[in-house]
Amino acid sequence: MTGTGNIVAALPFPTAAKPKLADSQLRDNLRRATHTIRDKRLRTVAELPEWERLRLAGAAIKDDVLARLPELLVEFEAAATAAGATVHWARDAAEACGIAVDLALSTGTREVVKIKSMATQEIGLNEALEAVGITPIETDLAELIVQLAGDTPSHILVPAIHYNRHQIRELFARRMPGVDLDALTDDPAALAEAARRHLRARFFSARVAISGANFAIAETGTLVVVESEGNGRMCLTLPETLISVVGVEKILPTVRDLDVFLQLLPRSSTGERMNPYTSAWTGVTPGDGPQQVHVILVDNGRSDVLADPVGRQALRCIRCSACLNVCPVYERVGGHAYGSVYPGPIGAILSPQLSGAGANATLPFASTLCGACFEACPVRIDIPEVLVHLRQEIVAAAGATPERAAMRAAAWVLRDRRRYSAALRAARRFAAPLRLVGRPDAVRHLPWPLTRWSASRDTPLPARETFREWWSRERA
């Protein structure tokens, strides 16, 4: 079944990216943040001489999971149910939201606290809760910033990466109820303290919490959340009811597999040796923590991705966002240009596969294919390979187009040395008058039908002399 929710771009990537490229403040914020995280990651990864072996192990475990996913999901359901949890299955975003909303309504609450969760963003759970009069409160600091701004996340790990601390201070002063304006500065510690005071009362009064999960252990029915602020620990222990929305690909076979991923994830995401908080829970423990535990296993297009022998490697993703932090395209346009909750290189391959066609069809072309994302990925997702694979599918589905005809003509010319030489001579004759009018190296705009080719790039003129001609002249 094709996925739905906040994974379908409303605008083609080139259209959405154009105004972002003109936003110099956005580019400054992105460059500073991504370079800080990527440098920190490189230092902590360099501490482990066995890093490549860990990457291979992570990829192998995930591939094993994908090869027997139905079996492991059933095993997880049986173990979680035996431990007192209730497991629900959702085919798409609407079904997942419907289950979560009904569960929240059944408690009579009008407010829920939330742990940062890509799965709940994907299915649009906040919007579904608000539609029935339940207020979701994001407790992750970056998610809280985005929620107070009425904005949407632009990064998987750092949703408010497009804001600097001065902007956040102004936002807190305007939107955070009860904030102490005298104590509020743009110092990070002061901003964190303001958020802590704002959220503490919500933690103590909340009867329902909603989470995602980084991992779901099939052999024990255990869910695992890793985080840095402690807000997750508060949500997982204080409320009476806990609802966890989990993508089906989050399964790991055994607890022992965590040994690999709890080394890969923190170093790749925040450049830390280990996460400050790692919470694991299995069903219900009488007298300790939530007494009603629900797990919603969400497909939402993942079965379609699993069926693609090349594209299925995208389901190895552990949402570390290392690929975003090294991507030259993401660094210049940010996450909103991708139109999906999954931005950057991983979003360019995951969103089109989850949702099918539409505006997402432009996402696989939002890449230079430089390969930095593959080098950074802790589970060795060959993103460039999948990008090319998806591009081939999109081009094949489009049928005959002027661009395809042009590429075939270029291939015909390049296959024969004499045809190539003749074409080069013709191009040089075309370029000669352009150089006379002051364009020595490149043309800014080409005439129709090549207008689109030069819409966002200069077209270099052919060299005045080819290497073969230079070689012949020098030898003579």
pLDDT tens for 358-410 read: 668 999 999 999 999 999 999 999 999 999 999 999 988 888 888 788 889 99
Nearest residue to 113 via CA among 147, 82, 83: 147
Res 457 pLDDT > 90: no
For 459, the token pair is 């077209």
**At CB < 8 A and 24+ separation, what contacts does 327-330 make?**
327/367, 327/372, 327/373, 328/368, 328/370, 328/372, 329/366, 329/367, 329/368, 330/30, 330/34
Answer left, alpha or beta for residue 209, where phi above 0 means left and psi between -120 and 50 means alpha: beta
Q: By C-alpha distance, which of 228, 266, 219 is closest to 83?
A: 219
The predicted pLDDT at position 234 comes to 94
d(CA 402, CA 399): 10
Cis peptide before 402 (omega within 30 of 0): no
Which residue ranges make up each domain of the chain?
13-304, 402-475
Tell me the pLDDT tens digit for each residue of 33-65: 999 999 999 999 999 999 999 999 999 999 999
Residue carrying structure tokens 């949402």: 319
**pTM for this entry:** 0.88
- Reported as type and span, the H/E element at residue 278 is strand 277-282
Under CATH, which number does the domain 13-304 receive? 3.40.50.10420
Residue 449, pLDDT > 80, answer: no
Give the percent of the chain with pLDDT over 90.
Answer: 80
Distance CA 407, CA 442 (A): 21
Q: How does pLDDT run across 324-344, given as a tens digit for each residue?
A: 999 999 999 999 999 999 999
Kindly report the backbone phi and psi dihedral angles of residue 391, in degrees, each rounded to the nearest multiple of 5, phi listed first: -60, -40
Per-residue pLDDT, 265: 97
Q: Tell the residue number behind the tokens 């049928």, with chain if given.
A: 399
Residue type at 345 in one-letter notation: P
Residue written as token pair 């002249």? 473
Locate 437 and state its tokens: 């009018």
How confident is the model at residue 245, as a pLDDT? Answer: 98
Confidence label for 434 from pLDDT (cuts 50, 70 and 90): confident
